[in-house]
Structures are given as structure tokens and as C-alpha cells.
Structure 1
């Protein structure tokens, strides 16, 4: 395996396409290229067609029709297609003359299938390359800690690209401390919005300056909808979902229907916004927090002459799709882009002068021990959208991050563009806490009509493991706990964490668990308690 680690805009795609060109010269050779998301396939598809005009390509992802997907699968299986491009499902395609695999943005969590049969397409691709004795290239500006450590240990070949392809400098990073009164608007300030501003004065001035230079601005807020929750000011009622243990999100008119609605992002429930509080009758309901739709309105109010485009799941569902929205940005028909993480990945924008990240702290402090690693990767990726068209010595754009904790290691390493330093720091933290990759984890998921049933089912399983003396010093089985989002679509969910410093010991225990559960189950539903269960190895979220 080969790790290709390079700065954003350093030409990693050109490097691996050039490498694949030499492989495709072999007779009947086929290659597989994996990308993490459907939105990234059209741009890469065009680039591959331009690079290999005489090669046949099959595109496999859930965004194409079943007929197209079936034809692409047939062409890959019969060897007619030399290049197979797709998302995680493409890794399962039978390819008789496979000679090389590329996993682009290998750090991306989208490679992990989180529903049904759970698998990691990246790990499966590595195993497939090993099994077939063919090379595999893992490409990323911010490799996952596991991959980076494998390269540092010499298990993977290591190739680095430390400069941008055309010689432009990396973007300048600015941290805006939102606790500092100087960064906020004061009454009477010129340019201050009528309502309370959703962005700081410092960022507002930077956006104005960038727009004056005829450059585009990219604003990342990782929360779609208008506001995350609707609240009653009299009795503190919250717009909770009736089917899930989560709040419904307010969406303005035109996003999911002709009227404003409340929508649950977990189960898909959509209902009209109440005209008064269901608990106390108060008509003064307030939208708390802000999402992409509210930010879009705020930008249009502050810069009425600017052309604003919102890019999120809702807007891409309404139009011809994400590709049409991205084309608007490439064509220069947009001044300010407001969007979720969809805008942060892989796209080669040529005129972005400023990138702003709002509410970064919501992803910094989380129960997930990988939260900091994921935030750092996302910040590096979105920062890399700025200044990509610059040439030798030109300024590489600017990134502004609003945070209450500028002293956090994530932001301090980002200031220096020190990916290796951050990964070394994270590795030492994980080693001290004996967390992956210094240990191995598995989750047993249980889902039932009541939480008590799910917890009882997992407790009985833990007792059986104790009776079999499977629990040793090398292996720990924790108590079952409710999931972070405990109820989804009416089902209540719990999980049991099994952790070991020895991979073999963990796998042997999971085999025992699987046999034990299957004895009293039809499929993956327990006969006695009617609990649905699932074993997940190497979970990406706990």
C-alpha cells in the first residue's frame, strides 16, 4: 500500500492519474477509483475523461438509476470498462483484471457503511489489494491516524507533496475569539445589521473586503435548515420529535414544502409549524440557533448586492442536483456560498478568496474521542478551497474561524498548517488513554420497543461472556448504555462496547458472541425478546 499525503491543491489527483496511466498500458488492465461521496464523482469523471479519452469508464454509485448501475456493473464484470469510478459500493464490484486501486480522501468517514451490513470500503479495498497482490494508493491531505501511523511505521510506502501545484502559498488562518467584545458589532457601528448579527464584525469586514476584490466567499456552517429547534418563551417547550429522542429542525418555506415546516433529520418526520405552543397556548414561539437557511437570509440582508447560493442537501434536492450548484460556483455566477460540509470536500474552486467557518466549537467538544481529528481534517479541507488558482508566491486566500477556544490544539496546529504535528499530538493522547489505534473496539447494538428490553438483552449477553471466562485482562466488556440518540423512529436503542489490546482476542470473542446470539435468533432478531441486534467491528462513532 502507498500513502500519498499532500497539501490541498498540491496535485494529488494528477499524480495518481499519471500513475494509473502506466498501469492501464498493461493488456486488459482495469483500475478501481473510490471517492467518498456522490457529489465528488461528476468533477472527477470529467477529469478522467479528459485524461483518458480513449478508455471506457463505468460509474457506480446510488445516485445513478438501477439500469445505469446494472450496465456499469456488467461492463466492469466482463472487463469492457477499464476504469471503474464509484463510491463505497463500488469496492464490492467483481473486476476480473483489477491491477490497481485508488482510495481518494481516504480519511473520510463516508467510506464506512452505517446501515445494514456494516463495512469500511477503505479497509475492504486494502484487504482486496493485499489478497490479489496488487498496489493500492491512499490519497489525502489529512490522512486518518491509523493510515498515517502505518506509513510512519514503514508498513505503507510514503509519498509527500508539500507544496501547492502552481506554487501559491497556503491560506492565512485567522482565529476570531467570539468571547472578545472587540470582535462583535456595537450599536451604531457602520455596516451593522438591523437584527442581532449572526457573524462577527471582524468576519463581516473581511467578507466586504473580499467582495470588493471580486473574489468569492465560502461560509461553512455544518447545520442545514433554518434553526435547530423551536422554543416557547413562556413554558420552555421544545419542538421534540414524537418518534425520536431529538428535536425537529425548522425549515423555511420552499425548502421541504410550500410552507415552513419542522423536520426530524433522524426519522424524516415532517409536520407543520404550530401557530401556538402545544403545552401552554403561548403564540410567542422563538427559533433558537441558526442553520444554513438563516445564514443565507442574514448574508442577503448585510450584502444586498451580493449573489448568494446555499449548498446543502435541501437545495441540491430541489434543483438539478449538487452538480448544477457547483457549476454555478465554477462559472462565477455566485459571490457568497453558504453551505454544509458538502462544500468542503474535493471541489477545485478557482476564485475563492475567503473561507469562513462558523460554530466550529460544536464539533470540537463531543463525546466522540475522534471529534478533534475529524474537525481538524474538515478545517484543512475547507481551508484548501481558498486560493487554489494562485501561482508562484501569490497569496493563497484566507480562512476565518469563529471560536470561543482559540487556544485549542486543533486551531493552534491549523495556524501552522502542521498536519503531522497534530497527528503526533493525537497519537500520544490516544496511546495514553489506550484508545484506537492502540486498542481495538467493537459494538453490539440492540434495538427494541423499550430501552429496558434492549439493556436487559445486552446485560444477559455480558453475563454469558463472564460465565465463559471470555473477559480477561486483554479484553474489557463495558456495561450496556443507551445510544447518544436513544430513540429513532419509535425504536429504543442501546449498545455494549467490547475493547481489547489484542485484535485476535477481540475477534475470537466476537465469534462467540455471534454464535451465542444466532442460536436464539431468526436472522438478527431474538426469538425470545424480539430484540434486533447487530455486531459492528471498528465503529467510527460510539
Structure 2
């Protein structure tokens, strides 16, 4: 047997002998072997003939990923420049599983349930934030019922997956979900629902798949390797010949390259009612929540909504915004339009395009101020403005929310299901974030808020955007028409050779500088910004091949391939 061990530093397979006592071991299974006088876990990746004396496999550790998955995992290791063992581990159970259950037969849906389905050809589906994806999921399930394999549905969070599972089971589907039901997934359960890890569900074959909110950042792993579930499942469906539907409120250029774009119904009507407050035109003595938003908050507090007001302050990247005390204009770079920060006594953007003195470009005043407030300070100020107790929610928040006013980061969206008013106190942090997806991130943030307040057709709630720049993104949100922003991003991606028109990777860590210098000798474009190195190539295959072949210097090194 050929075995890959869990030792990520040695990314290659070794041959071991399988004794008669371990005849139950098959390709994909987990085993324990002796590796350099160490007892390590590993995975059987193939069978080989015995040509010399070999060490025996010490122990069988149960089932691992299905043998049919191994080529996909090998592709993933190449695609994200990571050891194969990392992906084998991601597709394996957290406990020892020695046998699987017998999967039930996928049953046809009742006629009343089928009537709820909405048919779309496979591809990318542009939806509004308040669209319920259930109709599309039902169509994908019913239309592929005769195909062998499992039907996969990915959603951004496990809490969402749990709710979706209940709804599908009510409609007669046999569903597996969560780490505790790995054995069901391994036996090709008819429907598998989950978050990012479900892209590597151990089912032998995928018959069809739906990814809800396919551009959501939750689908990208933050730990190394930084793989993303959308790209993984696209490749998996391609290999299995399975149809794939991807929904998005603001599809990226990369996502639109995965299939034809369809529009689902009245997209504009499903966006929330958005009120824009230009902070350059309001009384500078107003608090962090401006007067129009404050009046709406008081009306919401007088209603019977359990959560009346949600106030969002999201910090993206390392940007600190500066604004003029006199006219309120933001300090922005004249070359790239990013927000400028104080640097060496002057002002400059993160890329240091045009360093200049500390003054306002609009009115010439020299009294710029920081517009940066932390969540804790914001919660205190909002409590004082409204004379209400406030719950402060960030990613580290534990427990239940009892206050009717909630202040926090986007972690609030995972904790609150419904409210009357959402206020983005500093929307410029989205618009001026130093990354190419900043405009779409702004749209997605408002889309998440829409799921709390409802659509503009419902008239139940409202979203307030406080900003110092009224650009095309803000205009699109007011109208509920995000197509111009999507088209503009696609043109920009093509012009700048961003994915899918090019390939990019980010290199960081103490050894990043030396490694980046070696990459330039292979013809890759390398740019230094914000303490990291951004590497560009014409396509992903060229980029990953050079990243793998270039010798790595000693020291910590982190690679993120996009």
C-alpha cells in the first residue's frame, strides 16, 4: 500500500506492506504506520506491488475519504500549494468510523412540494438578498433524482444549514448534516447540507449541487491552506459531470466565469429601503448616529420588534480614514482613490502613490481629523444618544442578546434574525477598503442587513448608510439596482488582469521577502503592499507551478492563492 502520512513537512507517499490481519484496509482508509521511528497516522492512496522489503502497516484507523475523491484532493493540493495530507484530513472524520449506514433511496417530492420549485438552468443565479433559495434547491433536487450520488447544498453558516435541514426534511428529503453524520455522508446519503467543509463531504459521487451566496467570505478558509469551497465544488462537479447552481446578490467576475448568468425575478424589489445620510452635510455636533437615523431608531423602539436597532461598524484591512474638520471631505489618494493615512508627518495611501502634506484637497484646510471609533466606544455613545441599554456583539461574543439595541461588527448578522432599522455608521470603511473586492463587500454588507429588515416591497424596515462620499455603489443601493456595479467590476478585473483574467497569490511571513525575490526570477509580477507581497501571473496553473517549484527559504511563510 502507498501511504501519505500526516507529517505535512514530508509531502510524499511511502510504500508499506499490508499483512493478512489487516485485509480489511482499502484505498482511502486511515492507518497507523512507523515513519522514521515515529508512529504516525496516514491515508492509503493506492495499491502497489511488493518489489522489496517494506515496513508493515501497524493498525487500521477506520474509513477515510472515498477512493473516488482522491484525484480531487490531489488537484486541490496542487491548486492551493499545500500538502495533500491537509486535504485528506479535511475529508476525514474527527473520530474513528469503521462502518457506514445503508443510505436510503432518494424519494420524489410530493406534487404540492414540486409546485413550489422554480426551474433554472445550471449556472450563476443573480438573486435579491431577501429571496428564499428553497424553490431553486427543490428544483435541483427533483430534476436530478434519477442520477446516482448525493445532492450537496452549501450555505455560509452551520446555523443556516441546520435550519435548511429541517425545512428539507419537512418536505420529505433524507438529509445528512454536520460532523456527527460523517458516516451518512460516506455512504452517499441522498442530500448533504452544510457550510464550507461540505464541499469535501466524503460521498463517492456528487449528482448535483447548489451553493447559496457563493461569493460569501465564509466559504474561504482563513487557516492554511486557504482553499475556498466554491472553487472546490466547481471542480468536483466538473469531474462528476454534475450540474451546479450558484446564487449571489453581487457575483464577482470569477464567479460569473463558472457558468451563464440568470436573473431571478424582481431583483431590485428584494433589496431593502436604503436612506443615505451624507455626513458632510449634517450638523457636526450630531452624535455617531445622525439625526435621520436617530428618528427612525426612536420609531423602531416604539414598535413591538424584539430588536429595534442594529448599528454596524466594520473595520476592514488596516485603513484609518481622515476627514476635514471644516468641510467633512475624506482624505483620498488622487491616483487610486484609496483612503489616505498619516505617514512620516504627511498623508499617503497604503501604496504610497503620491505622498503630500497634511491638508484638505477640497478646501485647503490643514485640520484633518481621524474618523475612527471602536465598537466599545460606539456602543457607549449609542447608549447615551438613545438612553437605552445596548448589547455589544463582536466575533468573540458569547451568550444571548436581551437588549433591543445591538451594536457591533458584522458578527451581528449571525446573531440577529430580524430587526426594524440597521445603521452603518461609517460606510466609507467599506468603500475605501484597500482591496479589489471593496465595492462588492459594500453591497454584500447591505444585503445581509436586508435579511434583517426585509425588502423595500415589504416596507417593514430600513437601512441607513452614513457616508462622506456618494459614489455609484451608494446610488445603486438607493435604487436597488446593483447590475451596474457588477458590470463595472467585471470590466476592471479584465483591465487589471484580476481573476478570472489572471491569477493572484499573497505571500506573507518572515521569509516572504526572500521568497518573493526568488519569484521575480521566474517572470512573475510581484508587488509589495501593507507588509505582504502580491504575486500575479497569466493563469492559475502557471502561478501554482512556479510557487511549488521555487525553493522556500527558512522561516515562516504563508501562501494564499486566490
**Does structure 1 retain, via aligned residues, the 8 Å contact 2:311–2:425?**
yes
Q: Residue 184 and residue 395 in structure 1: after superposition, are their counterparts in 2 closer, same or farther (change >3 A)?
A: farther
Q: 1:404 aligns with which of 448, 468, 483?
A: 468
Q: Residue 432 and residue 25 in structure 1: after superposition, are their counterparts in 2 closer, same or farther (change >3 A)?
A: closer
Q: Residue 386 of structure 1 corresponds to which residue in structure 2?
A: 453
Q: 1:300 aligns with which of 377, 383, 406?
A: 383
Q: Residue 530 and residue 394 in structure 1: after superposition, are their counterparts in 2 closer, same or farther (change >3 A)?
A: closer
Cα distance in 2 between the residues matched to 1:403 and 1:288: 11
Q: 2:197 aligns with which of 62, 76, 89?
A: 89
Within a 5 Å distance, the mapping from 1:221-236 to structure 2 comes to 221-223=313-315
**Does structure 2 retain, via aligned residues, the 8 Å contact 1:106–1:144?**
no
Q: Is 2:134 the counterpart of 1:14?
A: yes
Q: 1:311 aligns with which of 393, 399, 402?
A: 393
Q: Residue 435 and residue 4 in structure 1: after superposition, are their counterparts in 2 closer, same or farther (change >3 A)?
A: closer
Cα distance in 1 between the residues matched to 2:468 and 2:261: 39
**Does structure 1 retain, via aligned residues, the 8 Å contact 2:417–2:451?**
no
Deviates most, 42-51 or 13-22? 42-51
Higher relative contact order (CA 8 A, sep 6+): 1
Displacement after TM superposition at 1:340 (Å) = 1.7
Cα distance in 1 between the residues matched to 2:161 and 2:186: 20
Cα distance in 1 between the residues matched to 2:487 and 2:261: 18
Q: Is 2:265 the counterpart of 1:161?
A: yes
Q: Residue 276 of structure 2 corresponds to which residue in structure 1?
A: 175
**Does structure 2 retain, via aligned residues, the 8 Å contact 1:30–1:100?**
yes
Q: Name the SS for the 1:214 alignment partner.
A: coil
**Does structure 2 retain, via aligned residues, the 8 Å contact 1:36–1:108?**
yes
Q: Residue 509 and residue 288 in structure 1: after superposition, are their counterparts in 2 closer, same or farther (change >3 A)?
A: closer
Q: Residue 533 of structure 2 corresponds to which residue in structure 1?
A: 495
Q: Residue 155 of structure 2 corresponds to which residue in structure 1?
A: 35
Within a 5 Å distance, the mapping from 1:140-289 to structure 2 comes to 140-148=248-256, 150=257, 155-156=259-260, 158-162=262-266, 170-182=271-283, 184-185=285-286, 197-215=287-305, 216-223=308-315, 289=372
- Show CA shifts across 1:142-186 (max 9, x none): 2223223x37xxx4262413259xxx874321111112244753x
Q: Residue 509 and residue 213 in structure 1: after superposition, are their counterparts in 2 closer, same or farther (change >3 A)?
A: closer
Q: Residue 512 and residue 307 in structure 1: after superposition, are their counterparts in 2 closer, same or farther (change >3 A)?
A: closer
Q: Name the SS for the 2:245 alignment partner.
A: strand
Structure showing greater radius of gyration is: 2
Q: Which runs of 5+ in 1 are unaligned?
A: 60-68, 186-196, 229-286, 326-332, 466-470, 487-493, 518-525
Cα distance in 2 between the residues matched to 1:435 and 1:454: 22
Deviates most, 355-364 or 529-538? 529-538
Q: Residue 414 and residue 184 in structure 1: after superposition, are their counterparts in 2 closer, same or farther (change >3 A)?
A: farther
Cα distance in 1 between the residues matched to 2:396 and 2:146: 44
Q: Which runs of 4+ in 1 moved over 4 A?
A: 23-29, 345-348
Q: 1:137 aligns with which of 228, 245, 252?
A: 245
- Show CA shifts across 1:475-519 (max 9, x none): x5225x3x62x4xxxxxxx4251232xx2xx523542442232xx
Q: Residue 455 of structure 1 corresponds to which residue in structure 2?
A: 513
**Does structure 2 retain, via aligned residues, the 8 Å contact 1:221–1:358?**
yes
Q: 2:410 aligns with which of 335, 338, 341?
A: 341
Q: Residue 198 and residue 428 in structure 1: after superposition, are their counterparts in 2 closer, same or farther (change >3 A)?
A: same
Q: Once superposed, what is the RMSD of the aligned Cα atoms?
A: 3.2
Q: Residue 426 of structure 1 corresponds to which residue in structure 2?
A: 489
Q: Is 2:167 the counterpart of 1:47?
A: yes
Q: 1:120 aligns with which of 211, 214, 228?
A: 228
Q: Residue 73 of structure 1 corresponds to which residue in structure 2?
A: 182
Q: Which runs of 5+ in 2 are unaligned?
A: 1-121, 321-369
Cα distance in 2 between the residues matched to 1:24 and 1:87: 22
Cα distance in 2 between the residues matched to 1:210 and 1:415: 21
* TM-score in terms of structure 1 length: 0.64
- Show CA shifts across 1:320-372 (max 9, x none): xxxx55xxxxxxx65323232133469753xx322211111122213212212
